[in-house]
Amino acid sequence: MRELLSLACEECKRRNYTTDKNKRTMTDKLVLSKYCNSCRKHTPHKESKIK
Ligand SMILES: [Zn+2]
């Protein structure tokens, strides 16, 4: 039961990363600090569904 997700930059809303998570063990919204190429810095990246 894994769900495919993309990680979107909070500032420019670009989807820079893809990941997946286990729905059963991770029910919280994922927010990760990742490097964004268009902002050229680390920004919070929020999960969003790919479908
Ligand atoms: Zn960005």
Total structural domains in the chain? Answer: 1
Contacts with 44 (C-beta within 8 Å, 6 or more apart), sequence order: 9, 10, 31, 32, 33
What is the model's pLDDT at position 43?
98
Distance 6 CA to ligand 1 centre (A): 13
Cα 25 to ligand 1 centre (Å): 28
Its domain, for residue 31, covers: 2-48
Reported as a single tens digit per residue, the pLDDT across 9-41 is 999 999 999 998 887 887 778 899 999 999 999
**Cα–Cα distance between 45 and 40 in angstroms, integer?**
13
Q: How many whole angstroms from 42 Cα to the centroid of ligand 1?
A: 8
Q: Can you give the pTM of this predicted structure?
A: 0.81
How close is the Cα of 32 to the center of ligand 1, in Å?
13
CATH code for the domain in which residue 32 is found: 2.20.28.120
How far does the centroid of ligand 1 lie from the alpha carbon of residue 28, in Å? Answer: 22
